[in-house]
Amino acid sequence: MIPGAAKFLRNRLNLASFVVVLLYLATAVGIEAYSIYCSHRKITPVYERGNINERFQPPSRQHWFGTDYLGRDVFLRAAAGTSTAIKVGLIASFITVFLGVSLGVLGGYAGGVVDDIVVWINSTFAAMPSLLFVLAFALLVSKGFLCPPLEKAFGALCTLFNTEPGMMAVYLGIGITGWVGLCQVVRAETFKLREAGYVQAARVSGLRDGSIILRHIVPNLFHLVIIFFTIRFAGAVMTEVIVSYLGLGVQQVPSWGTMIADGQERLWQGIWWEVGGATLFMFFLVLSLNLLGDALRDHLDPRLST
Protein backbone atom coordinates (compact mmCIF):
# COMPACT_ATOMS: atom_id res chain seq x y z
CA MET A 1 0.00 0.00 0.00
CA ILE A 2 1.36 3.44 -0.90
CA PRO A 3 2.18 5.78 2.01
CA GLY A 4 -0.80 7.99 2.93
CA ALA A 5 -3.16 5.93 0.77
CA ALA A 6 -6.24 7.16 2.66
CA LYS A 7 -5.29 10.78 2.02
CA PHE A 8 -4.52 9.99 -1.62
CA LEU A 9 -7.92 8.36 -2.20
CA ARG A 10 -9.83 11.19 -0.52
CA ASN A 11 -9.37 13.10 -3.76
CA ARG A 12 -12.40 12.18 -5.88
CA LEU A 13 -10.51 12.17 -9.17
CA ASN A 14 -7.82 9.90 -7.72
CA LEU A 15 -10.46 7.58 -6.30
CA ALA A 16 -12.40 7.47 -9.57
CA SER A 17 -9.23 6.67 -11.56
CA PHE A 18 -8.26 3.97 -9.07
CA VAL A 19 -11.72 2.37 -9.20
CA VAL A 20 -11.79 2.39 -13.01
CA VAL A 21 -8.38 0.70 -13.18
CA LEU A 22 -9.53 -1.90 -10.64
CA LEU A 23 -12.64 -2.60 -12.76
CA TYR A 24 -10.48 -3.13 -15.83
CA LEU A 25 -8.18 -5.46 -13.87
CA ALA A 26 -11.15 -7.47 -12.55
CA THR A 27 -12.61 -7.70 -16.06
CA ALA A 28 -9.28 -8.87 -17.46
CA VAL A 29 -8.91 -11.57 -14.79
CA GLY A 30 -12.46 -12.80 -15.45
CA ILE A 31 -11.98 -12.86 -19.24
CA GLU A 32 -8.66 -14.64 -18.92
CA ALA A 33 -10.10 -17.32 -16.63
CA TYR A 34 -13.10 -17.72 -18.95
CA SER A 35 -10.90 -18.09 -22.06
CA ILE A 36 -8.74 -20.74 -20.36
CA TYR A 37 -11.89 -22.59 -19.32
CA CYS A 38 -13.29 -22.46 -22.87
CA SER A 39 -9.97 -23.62 -24.30
CA HIS A 40 -9.84 -26.66 -22.02
CA ARG A 41 -13.49 -27.53 -22.60
CA LYS A 42 -13.27 -26.90 -26.38
CA ILE A 43 -16.06 -24.32 -26.14
CA THR A 44 -16.33 -21.26 -28.37
CA PRO A 45 -16.22 -18.16 -26.11
CA VAL A 46 -19.36 -16.03 -26.15
CA TYR A 47 -17.44 -13.07 -27.57
CA GLU A 48 -16.48 -15.20 -30.61
CA ARG A 49 -20.00 -16.37 -31.34
CA GLY A 50 -21.80 -14.59 -34.14
CA ASN A 51 -24.79 -14.78 -36.40
CA ILE A 52 -24.08 -13.73 -39.97
CA ASN A 53 -27.72 -12.74 -40.34
CA GLU A 54 -27.30 -10.14 -37.59
CA ARG A 55 -24.12 -8.49 -38.83
CA PHE A 56 -23.67 -4.70 -38.83
CA GLN A 57 -26.57 -4.14 -36.45
CA PRO A 58 -26.41 -0.71 -34.76
CA PRO A 59 -26.31 -0.33 -30.97
CA SER A 60 -29.48 -1.59 -29.29
CA ARG A 61 -30.70 -3.10 -26.02
CA GLN A 62 -29.66 -6.55 -27.21
CA HIS A 63 -26.25 -5.43 -28.51
CA TRP A 64 -25.10 -2.34 -26.63
CA PHE A 65 -22.31 -1.52 -29.10
CA GLY A 66 -23.89 -3.20 -32.13
CA THR A 67 -22.46 -6.15 -34.07
CA ASP A 68 -19.47 -6.56 -36.39
CA TYR A 69 -19.10 -8.07 -39.88
CA LEU A 70 -19.58 -11.59 -38.48
CA GLY A 71 -22.54 -10.71 -36.30
CA ARG A 72 -20.50 -10.83 -33.10
CA ASP A 73 -21.37 -8.56 -30.19
CA VAL A 74 -18.97 -5.58 -30.26
CA PHE A 75 -19.40 -4.80 -26.55
CA LEU A 76 -18.40 -8.34 -25.55
CA ARG A 77 -15.41 -8.27 -27.90
CA ALA A 78 -14.29 -4.88 -26.59
CA ALA A 79 -14.63 -6.17 -23.02
CA ALA A 80 -12.63 -9.28 -23.98
CA GLY A 81 -9.95 -7.01 -25.45
CA THR A 82 -9.40 -5.74 -21.90
CA SER A 83 -7.59 -8.99 -21.12
CA THR A 84 -5.12 -8.43 -23.97
CA ALA A 85 -4.49 -4.82 -22.93
CA ILE A 86 -4.00 -5.61 -19.24
CA LYS A 87 -1.68 -8.54 -19.96
CA VAL A 88 0.57 -6.50 -22.21
CA GLY A 89 0.56 -3.63 -19.71
CA LEU A 90 1.48 -5.82 -16.74
CA ILE A 91 4.06 -8.07 -18.41
CA ALA A 92 5.80 -5.33 -20.40
CA SER A 93 5.85 -2.96 -17.42
CA PHE A 94 7.30 -5.62 -15.10
CA ILE A 95 10.07 -6.32 -17.63
CA THR A 96 10.69 -2.59 -18.01
CA VAL A 97 10.86 -1.98 -14.26
CA PHE A 98 13.14 -4.97 -13.66
CA LEU A 99 15.64 -3.88 -16.32
CA GLY A 100 15.48 -0.18 -15.46
CA VAL A 101 15.91 -0.63 -11.71
CA SER A 102 18.57 -3.37 -12.00
CA LEU A 103 20.79 -1.48 -14.43
CA GLY A 104 20.17 1.93 -12.83
CA VAL A 105 21.06 0.73 -9.34
CA LEU A 106 24.05 -1.25 -10.63
CA GLY A 107 25.53 1.72 -12.47
CA GLY A 108 24.71 4.29 -9.80
CA TYR A 109 26.03 2.24 -6.88
CA ALA A 110 29.11 0.67 -8.47
CA GLY A 111 30.23 3.66 -10.54
CA GLY A 112 33.46 3.52 -12.55
CA VAL A 113 33.69 1.05 -15.43
CA VAL A 114 30.39 -0.62 -14.49
CA ASP A 115 28.60 2.72 -14.71
CA ASP A 116 30.27 3.44 -18.07
CA ILE A 117 28.94 0.15 -19.43
CA VAL A 118 25.44 0.87 -18.12
CA VAL A 119 25.52 4.36 -19.69
CA TRP A 120 26.64 2.87 -23.01
CA ILE A 121 23.83 0.28 -22.98
CA ASN A 122 21.34 2.96 -21.98
CA SER A 123 22.48 5.29 -24.76
CA THR A 124 22.31 2.48 -27.32
CA PHE A 125 18.71 1.59 -26.46
CA ALA A 126 17.75 5.28 -26.21
CA ALA A 127 18.86 5.69 -29.84
CA MET A 128 16.56 2.89 -31.03
CA PRO A 129 13.14 3.77 -32.45
CA SER A 130 11.08 1.74 -29.97
CA LEU A 131 8.01 1.16 -32.13
CA LEU A 132 10.08 -0.05 -35.08
CA PHE A 133 11.97 -2.43 -32.78
CA VAL A 134 8.71 -3.86 -31.44
CA LEU A 135 7.31 -4.24 -34.98
CA ALA A 136 10.48 -5.92 -36.24
CA PHE A 137 10.60 -8.27 -33.26
CA ALA A 138 6.92 -9.18 -33.66
CA LEU A 139 7.43 -9.82 -37.39
CA LEU A 140 10.50 -11.96 -36.69
CA VAL A 141 8.61 -14.15 -34.23
CA SER A 142 5.17 -14.34 -35.82
CA LYS A 143 6.51 -15.24 -39.27
CA GLY A 144 8.65 -18.12 -37.99
CA PHE A 145 12.15 -16.70 -38.47
CA LEU A 146 13.48 -18.02 -35.15
CA CYS A 147 15.90 -20.96 -35.03
CA PRO A 148 14.29 -24.24 -33.76
CA PRO A 149 15.65 -24.10 -30.15
CA LEU A 150 14.52 -20.49 -29.71
CA GLU A 151 11.18 -21.24 -31.35
CA LYS A 152 10.62 -24.12 -28.93
CA ALA A 153 11.54 -21.99 -25.90
CA PHE A 154 9.32 -19.20 -27.18
CA GLY A 155 6.44 -21.62 -27.61
CA ALA A 156 6.81 -22.78 -24.00
CA LEU A 157 6.78 -19.15 -22.87
CA CYS A 158 3.61 -18.49 -24.86
CA THR A 159 1.92 -21.52 -23.28
CA LEU A 160 2.92 -20.33 -19.81
CA PHE A 161 1.34 -16.90 -20.36
CA ASN A 162 -1.63 -18.21 -22.37
CA THR A 163 -0.83 -16.04 -25.38
CA GLU A 164 0.28 -16.33 -29.00
CA PRO A 165 3.79 -15.72 -30.41
CA GLY A 166 2.98 -12.33 -31.93
CA MET A 167 1.72 -11.01 -28.61
CA MET A 168 4.59 -12.52 -26.63
CA ALA A 169 6.94 -10.69 -28.96
CA VAL A 170 5.07 -7.45 -28.26
CA TYR A 171 5.35 -8.02 -24.49
CA LEU A 172 9.10 -8.57 -24.73
CA GLY A 173 9.69 -5.84 -27.31
CA ILE A 174 7.97 -3.16 -25.24
CA GLY A 175 9.69 -4.35 -22.06
CA ILE A 176 13.15 -4.45 -23.63
CA THR A 177 12.91 -0.95 -25.13
CA GLY A 178 10.94 0.86 -22.43
CA TRP A 179 13.37 0.88 -19.50
CA VAL A 180 15.69 3.69 -20.59
CA GLY A 181 13.92 6.58 -18.84
CA LEU A 182 13.57 4.71 -15.56
CA CYS A 183 17.21 3.62 -15.65
CA GLN A 184 18.39 7.22 -15.99
CA VAL A 185 16.27 8.41 -13.06
CA VAL A 186 17.19 5.44 -10.83
CA ARG A 187 20.90 5.81 -11.64
CA ALA A 188 20.89 9.51 -10.70
CA GLU A 189 18.96 8.83 -7.49
CA THR A 190 21.28 5.95 -6.54
CA PHE A 191 24.30 8.26 -6.88
CA LYS A 192 22.78 10.43 -4.14
CA LEU A 193 21.58 7.58 -1.94
CA ARG A 194 24.95 5.81 -1.85
CA GLU A 195 26.44 8.87 -0.14
CA ALA A 196 23.66 9.05 2.48
CA GLY A 197 24.67 8.67 6.13
CA TYR A 198 22.72 5.47 6.77
CA VAL A 199 24.27 3.82 3.67
CA GLN A 200 27.77 4.83 4.79
CA ALA A 201 27.04 3.49 8.27
CA ALA A 202 25.84 0.18 6.84
CA ARG A 203 29.01 -0.08 4.75
CA VAL A 204 31.25 0.63 7.75
CA SER A 205 29.39 -1.97 9.80
CA GLY A 206 30.48 -4.61 7.29
CA LEU A 207 27.19 -5.13 5.47
CA ARG A 208 27.70 -6.51 1.98
CA ASP A 209 26.93 -4.41 -1.07
CA GLY A 210 24.08 -6.70 -2.13
CA SER A 211 22.40 -6.36 1.26
CA ILE A 212 22.89 -2.58 1.26
CA ILE A 213 21.24 -2.32 -2.17
CA LEU A 214 18.27 -4.50 -1.18
CA ARG A 215 17.76 -3.03 2.30
CA HIS A 216 18.61 0.64 1.86
CA ILE A 217 18.79 1.63 -1.82
CA VAL A 218 15.88 -0.13 -3.54
CA PRO A 219 13.24 0.65 -0.85
CA ASN A 220 14.04 4.36 -1.19
CA LEU A 221 13.51 4.14 -4.95
CA PHE A 222 10.14 2.46 -4.66
CA HIS A 223 8.13 5.64 -5.19
CA LEU A 224 9.86 6.09 -8.57
CA VAL A 225 9.03 2.51 -9.51
CA ILE A 226 5.31 2.92 -8.70
CA ILE A 227 5.05 6.14 -10.69
CA PHE A 228 6.95 4.82 -13.70
CA PHE A 229 5.08 1.50 -13.68
CA THR A 230 1.70 3.24 -13.83
CA ILE A 231 2.70 5.61 -16.63
CA ARG A 232 4.51 2.89 -18.59
CA PHE A 233 1.45 0.65 -18.28
CA ALA A 234 -0.59 3.18 -20.30
CA GLY A 235 2.19 3.46 -22.88
CA ALA A 236 2.36 -0.31 -23.29
CA VAL A 237 -1.40 -0.51 -23.88
CA MET A 238 -1.20 2.15 -26.58
CA THR A 239 1.76 0.43 -28.25
CA GLU A 240 -0.07 -2.91 -28.32
CA VAL A 241 -3.08 -1.26 -29.97
CA ILE A 242 -0.83 0.24 -32.67
CA VAL A 243 1.01 -3.04 -33.32
CA SER A 244 -2.22 -5.06 -33.47
CA TYR A 245 -3.77 -2.40 -35.72
CA LEU A 246 -0.87 -2.96 -38.13
CA GLY A 247 -1.52 -6.71 -38.07
CA LEU A 248 1.62 -7.83 -36.23
CA GLY A 249 0.27 -8.35 -32.73
CA VAL A 250 -2.59 -10.49 -31.49
CA GLN A 251 -4.39 -12.58 -34.12
CA GLN A 252 -6.52 -15.22 -32.37
CA VAL A 253 -8.14 -13.27 -29.52
CA PRO A 254 -9.94 -9.90 -29.39
CA SER A 255 -7.78 -6.79 -29.34
CA TRP A 256 -8.78 -3.15 -29.55
CA GLY A 257 -6.17 -2.65 -32.28
CA THR A 258 -7.57 -5.38 -34.54
CA MET A 259 -11.14 -4.17 -33.88
CA ILE A 260 -10.18 -0.67 -35.02
CA ALA A 261 -8.39 -2.08 -38.07
CA ASP A 262 -11.41 -4.22 -39.00
CA GLY A 263 -13.94 -1.46 -38.42
CA GLN A 264 -12.16 1.40 -40.19
CA GLU A 265 -12.98 -0.03 -43.61
CA ARG A 266 -16.69 0.48 -43.00
CA LEU A 267 -16.62 3.91 -41.37
CA TRP A 268 -17.51 5.55 -44.68
CA GLN A 269 -20.68 3.43 -44.69
CA GLY A 270 -21.71 4.88 -41.34
CA ILE A 271 -20.83 1.70 -39.42
CA TRP A 272 -18.89 3.38 -36.62
CA TRP A 273 -19.70 1.28 -33.57
CA GLU A 274 -16.88 -1.28 -33.81
CA VAL A 275 -14.22 1.43 -33.95
CA GLY A 276 -16.15 3.46 -31.39
CA GLY A 277 -16.50 0.59 -28.92
CA ALA A 278 -12.80 -0.33 -29.00
CA THR A 279 -11.74 3.32 -28.81
CA LEU A 280 -14.05 3.99 -25.87
CA PHE A 281 -12.68 1.06 -23.84
CA MET A 282 -9.10 2.10 -24.64
CA PHE A 283 -9.77 5.76 -23.86
CA PHE A 284 -11.07 5.22 -20.33
CA LEU A 285 -8.27 2.82 -19.40
CA VAL A 286 -5.46 5.02 -20.71
CA LEU A 287 -7.04 8.18 -19.26
CA SER A 288 -7.43 6.58 -15.82
CA LEU A 289 -3.84 5.27 -15.87
CA ASN A 290 -2.44 8.66 -16.87
CA LEU A 291 -4.47 10.48 -14.21
CA LEU A 292 -3.42 7.90 -11.62
CA GLY A 293 0.23 8.17 -12.66
CA ASP A 294 0.20 11.98 -12.41
CA ALA A 295 -1.53 11.84 -9.03
CA LEU A 296 0.97 9.28 -7.72
CA ARG A 297 3.85 11.43 -8.90
CA ASP A 298 2.46 14.47 -7.08
CA HIS A 299 1.78 12.38 -3.96
CA LEU A 300 4.99 10.36 -3.76
CA ASP A 301 7.68 12.61 -5.20
CA PRO A 302 9.24 14.49 -2.22
CA ARG A 303 10.13 17.47 -4.44
CA LEU A 304 6.49 17.95 -5.44
CA SER A 305 4.81 17.13 -2.12
CA THR A 306 6.68 19.76 -0.12
What does the pLDDT look like over 40-69, one tens digit per residue?
888 888 888 888 888 888 888 888 888 888
Q: 67: which strand partners?
A: 73
Q: What separation in angstroms does the CA of 206 have from each of 160, 200, 202, 251?
A: 42, 10, 7, 55
For the ranges 19-28, 56-65, 114-123, 156-165, the lowest mean pLDDT is seen at 156-165
- The predicted-structure confidence for 227-242, as pLDDT tens digits, reads as follows 888 888 888 888 888 8
**Largest pairwise CA distance in the chain:** 77
Residue 3: per-residue pLDDT? 52
Residue 59: per-residue pLDDT? 85
Among 282, 205, 225, smallest CA distance to 93 is for: 225
Residue 301: per-residue pLDDT? 61
164 vs 20 pLDDT, higher one: 20
Q: Is 248 in contact with 131 (CB distance < 8 Å)? A: no
| pLDDT score of 2 more than 60 | no
For the ranges 12-16, 200-204, 249-253, the lowest mean pLDDT is seen at 249-253
Q: Is 74 in contact with 271 (CB distance < 8 Å)? A: no
Residue 302: per-residue pLDDT? 53
Q: Is 87 in contact with 163 (CB distance < 8 Å)? A: yes
Question: Which residue ranges form the domains of the chain, and what is each CATH number?
Answer: 7-40+73-305 (1.10.3720.10)
- The predicted-structure confidence for 174-225, as pLDDT tens digits, reads as follows 888 888 888 988 998 898 888 888 888 888 888 888 888 888 888 888 888 8
In the 8-state DSSP scheme, what is residue 57?
P
CB atoms inside a 10 Å sphere around CB 16: 14
Residue 144: per-residue pLDDT? 67
Q: Is 67 in contact with 210 (CB distance < 8 Å)? A: no
pTM of this structure: 0.83
User: Which residues neighbour 53 within 8 Å (Cβ) at sequence distance 6 or greater?
Assistant: 71
Reduce the DSSP state of residue 132 to 3 states and report it: helix
- Distance in angstroms (rounded) separating the CA atoms of residues 130 and 179: 11
Mean pLDDT of 6-35: 86
Reduce the DSSP state of residue 46 to 3 states and report it: helix
| pLDDT score of 303 more than 70 | no
**Helix 222-245 and helix 130-142, axial crossing angle in degrees, nearest 10:** 60
- Distance in angstroms (rounded) separating the CA atoms of residues 35 and 32: 5
User: Which residues neighbour 76 within 8 Å (Cβ) at sequence distance 6 or greater?
Assistant: 46, 47
221 vs 3 pLDDT, higher one: 221
